[in-house]
Amino acid sequence: MSENKKITEIPIGPYHPLQEEPEFFRLKIDGEKVVGIEIEIGYNHRGIEKLSESKSFDQATFLVERICGICSTSHPFAYVNAVEDLAAIRIPERAKYIRTVVGEIERIHSHLLWLGLAGHFIGYNTVWMWCWKYREPLLELCERVFGNRNHYAMMKIGGVRRDISDDQGDLIRKDMGDLVPKLDMLYNAIQDDPVIKARLRIAGTLTKKDARAYCVVGPTARASGIEIDVRKDDPYAAYGLVDWNVVVREEGDVYAKTMVRIDEMKESVKIINQCVDRLKEVKGEIETEIKEIPEGEGIGRHEAPRGEVFHYVRSRGGSVPYRHKVRAPSFMNVFSNEVAVVGGTIPDAALTLAAVDPCYCCTERMQAVDTDSKVYTSRDLIRMCQEKTYELHRKMKGGK
């Protein structure tokens, strides 16, 4: 009898209030229990890698900045790391600190954004609005210091584009000081609220073994007890020069993921404060001049808010990259839902899917093409379009 039991399929996506981006999860449910999931992504292909091959090395920095709206400095960060690796460029110390400040401010506002959304997903809209309210001063700070609320365009091969003056440094320190009590408040609120705990605990547990098997990165991995962080494991920019800790928790559920993110924000505040202090002492150039990019290949990594982002750049000399490969953290994290969601209930599934902080526009680099069916070339498409137009014309004339 139980084998014949009908399994209902619940679609989450491609358009769903849960997530802003197009993605498709087929939840196979039995009553309220999730017994299976199929993950389909690939709705958001934009051909960034191909575009990058037609841009010069400098222009590609701006291009990769447009990959993602929230972690808009992570991709350029990894990209400049890759090109500097390729050309063996050493950047000035001041530029290192400035890069670190940009990266960490971005991490804080990205995590606050996620925390707010997590509140929204469990129906707690007050948390949502409050988190985004706290995020607002940070975005304003970005505008005052980096020139834009998002898409700061701070990264440049060989250094950074803008300097941070001492006044701006004070501004950053003041805002960080204002932020700490708010973070503490959020931390305590989530830790003390029994209803939130009842909702987040156990939900979507990703065990350490599964986390390793799915190669998850970033806060998702650190919440499952895996201590990985590119900033610590392979220090770049100023991460090796300041004192900070990697936040790890063992539970692997949504609660752990939340707490890891809040703790990480506090660590980011620590890093930013140290960097700003050091910026007052370390004076000098903010960029090294690059004459040309030699032949060769390089990789660049950056610990984005969602995990390790990886860029590979290959040059054959000349002004444009020959090949540019991007791997975003969500590419690793999203598929861990295959184990995290199954066995839970639908409300947990909705929360778990969002808990890895997926970013599909970052992830989607390729599109699967079914080779058995007919492949349409651009010429075919144009021909089809024309035929359709003729047909419509005919119909309209016939109608008259």
Partner 1 sequence: MIFVDYFIFPGIVFTMIVAFIVSWIDRKVTALLQWRVGPPLLQPVYDFLKLMKKETLIPKGGSVTVFLLSPVISFSALVLVSLILVKTNLNGMGFVGDLFVVIYLLLLPSFAVIMGGASSANPLASLGASREMKMVLSYELPFIMSVCTILIKTGGLIDIAGIIQYQQNNGVLIGSLSGFLAFFVTLLCFQSKMAQIPFDIPEAEQEIMGGTMIEYSGPPLGFFVASRWILMALLPYLAVILFMGGIGSYIGILKYILLVVVVILIKNTNPRLRINQTLRLFWGPVTLLAALSVVLAMMGL
Looking at the Cβ atoms of 123 and 235, the one nearer to partner 1 is: 123
Residues numbered 131 to 160 that lie near partner 1 (CB under 8 A) are 133
Neighbouring CB atoms inside 10 A of 18's CB total: 16
Is there a contact between 39 and 335 (Cβ–Cβ < 8 Å)? yes
Total residues interacting with partner 1, rule: CB under 8 A: 31
Based on CB atoms, which residue is closest to partner 1, 194 or 399? 194
Axis crossing angle, helix 57-65 with helix 74-87, rounded to the nearest 10: 160
255 binds partner 1 (CB under 8 A): no
Which residue, 8 or 165, has its beta carbon nearer to partner 1? 8
Which run of H or E residues covers position 40?
strand 33-40
Per DSSP, the three-state class of 39 is strand
**Angle, alpha carbons 275-92-234 (nearest 5°):** 65
Question: Which range touches partner 1 (CB under 8 A), out of 115-123, 164-172, 237-245, 297-305?
Answer: 115-123
- Of the pair 43, 124, the CB lying nearest partner 1 is at 124
Question: Shortest Cβ distance from residue 83 to partner 1 (Å)?
Answer: 41
Contact mark string toward partner 1, 11..30, x via CB under 8 A: -----xxx----------x-
Tokens for 106, please give them: 């971005």
184-213: contacts with partner 1 (CB under 8 A): 195-196, 198-199
Could you say whether residue 120 binds partner 1 (CB under 8 A)? yes
Question: Is position 56 an interface residue for partner 1 (rule: CB under 8 A)?
Answer: no
Q: Does 9 bind partner 1 (CB under 8 A)?
A: yes
Binding test (CB under 8 A) with partner 1, winner from 103, 119, 169, 298: 119
Asked if residue 230 lies in contact with residue 304, where contact means CB atoms within 8 angstroms, the answer is no
* Alpha helices (H) along the chain: 48-52, 57-65, 74-87, 93-121, 125-146, 166-192, 194-200, 208-213, 218-223, 230-233, 254-281, 329-333, 337-340, 346-355, 360-363, 378-399
- 163 token code pair: 């300097």
* Stretch of 127-135, 173-181, 265-273, 318-326 contacting partner 1, by CB under 8 A: 127-135
Cross-strand bridge partners of residue 310: 301, 327
The amino acid sitting at 163 is: D
Measured from the CB of residue 225, what is the shortest distance to partner 1 in angstroms? 25
Near partner 1 in 294-333, by CB under 8 A = none
Q: Does 398 bind partner 1 (CB under 8 A)?
A: no
Q: Distance (Å, rounded) from C-alpha 211 to C-alpha 69? A: 27
Q: Is 181 in the site for partner 1 (CB under 8 A)?
A: no
Q: Cα–chain-centroid distance for residue 163? A: 25
2, 4, 126, 371: which one binds partner 1 (CB under 8 A): 126
Q: Is 389 in the site for partner 1 (CB under 8 A)?
A: no
Sites of contact with partner 1 (CB under 8 A): 8-10, 16-18, 29, 31-32, 119-130, 133, 195-196, 198-199, 345-348, 350
